[in-house]
Structure 1
Amino acid sequence: MEKGGDSGMSEQSRKPMSIVPYNPDWALEYKREQERLLNALSPRIATMEHVGSTSIPNQAAKPVIDMFAAFHTLEAPSVYSRLLKDLGYSYTDAGMTGRHLFVKKSGGARTHHLHMLPSEHFYERNELLFRDYLRAHPESVSAYGELKLSLMRQFSLDPEAYTRAKTDFIQQIVDRARTEKGLPLQSVWED
């Protein structure tokens, strides 16, 4: 799902990770940022979605707004760098094939991740299926929150190990979501 999502984060790996209780303001912050981004990226952008734990009601999360944006044609990162500079975003080479990652920071801490992807099969992406499944199954939200807090204590200084340790749980949820939608099963580490 977020393969390489924490790579290139050496500045963050020196600081302990922080997972906080769900904040309903995250949805409002997404809407504000979505409007800014749609204005800046129009007409290139097809659609945008709030993803990740901040998009799931009652889910404990790292306080970073994750966004997926689908593009009719995915252009070079330099094109978007010019369009997003005034909004405070910078390109980050996260080692993820077939997408670009732009990051916004405040006070040196990441506040927003903008993942740019091709529009083809956008709504079949594991990240969106995972989000939608958890939104519909609050018992899984609780289990995921407990797992995340436990792993954060264990891997607070190693975001990559933290992400890898969540893989089995995430894979189980994605498998259920893909089965419900009649989609073939797929590894969460596939791009």
Structure 2
Amino acid sequence: MPRARDIVTFVDDAPPAGSSPWVVEPVAAPIAVDEYDPAWPAHYEALATRIAGVLGARVLALQHVGSTSVPGLAAKPVIDMDLIVADPAAEDAWLPGLEAAGFILTVREPWWYEHRCLRFEPGAAESCASEPGGSDAKAIRANLHVFGPDSPEPWRHRIFRDHLRREPADRDLYATAKRAAARTSNAAGEVVMEYNARKQAVLREIYARAFAAAGL
């Protein structure tokens, strides 16, 4: 488990010289912030079942995080998940199974908690149609974030999620910031990382209150 001071400390360092986090470069696309969809938790469960089926005991923890995990919160229609494995750097132990299940490695950041991110797109694997939700499961899009047991980032994600579930004022504040960031980013033809940067100030403001409420 990470130390409390690591959980509340954000690391915003740039990649080392000559390094890029991108395995698959992002492309500019319209950013949609939709009203909350009560089907999102079921989409998460379908993906969680898929992940457990290919990784088994290698899944040390798996959680639904991000805006789609907060009832009532507007969000991009992309399920965010945090997967904890013993060693993210040992990709041979977990990556082939996820790739076979339709996930695509898009980000590799050894310098930032050994983070990896994989994308799941509609139709990424033919067996989607047999999962909960039937053929509608093909509409699932997801980002799967892979971390090790000592990473503070998944702790931050859960604290933030649970705070927004309890605090409607901060949930509404965050939704307003997300919609404003999406409008500006779409007008400028930006990628999602630039959208994230535009809402970061409000995000960090809410995080501060979430950490304080958690006693950190």
Structure 1 match to 2:135: none
CA pair 85-123 structure 1, distance change in 2 beyond 3 A: closer
Structure 2 match to 1:42: 56
Alpha-carbon RMSD across the aligned residues, in angstroms, is 2.7
Gap regions ≥5 residues in structure 2: 1-9, 15-20, 125-138
The answer as to whether partners of 1:64 and 1:110 remain within 8 angstroms in 2 is yes
Alignment of 1:155-170 (within 5 A): 155-156=185-186, 157-158=189-190, 159-170=192-203
Q: Which runs of 4+ in 1 moved over 3 A?
A: 1-4, 6-9, 107-110, 121-124
State which of 98, 101, 107 in structure 2 corresponds to 1:84: 98
CA distance in 2, matches of 1:140, 1:134: 6
Alignment of 1:109-124 (within 5 A): 111-120=141-150
Alignment of 1:1-191 (within 5 A): 8-11=24-27, 13=28, 15-95=29-109, 97=112, 98-106=114-122, 111-120=141-150, 125-156=155-186, 157-158=189-190, 159-183=192-216
The answer as to whether partners of 1:67 and 1:114 remain within 8 angstroms in 2 is yes
Moved more, 113-122 or 97-106: 113-122
The answer as to whether partners of 2:25 and 2:106 remain within 8 angstroms in 1 is no
Moved more, 163-172 or 69-78: 69-78
Matched positions, count? 180
Aligned residue type for 1:142: D
Give the SS at the match of 1:42: helix
Structure 2-normalised TM-score? 0.74
Deviations 1:40-83 (A, max 9, x none): 11211111110111111111111100000112333433432311
Greater strand proportion: 1
Gap regions ≥5 residues in structure 1: 184-191
Deviation at 1:122, TM superposition (A): 5.5
The answer as to whether partners of 2:109 and 2:116 remain within 8 angstroms in 1 is no
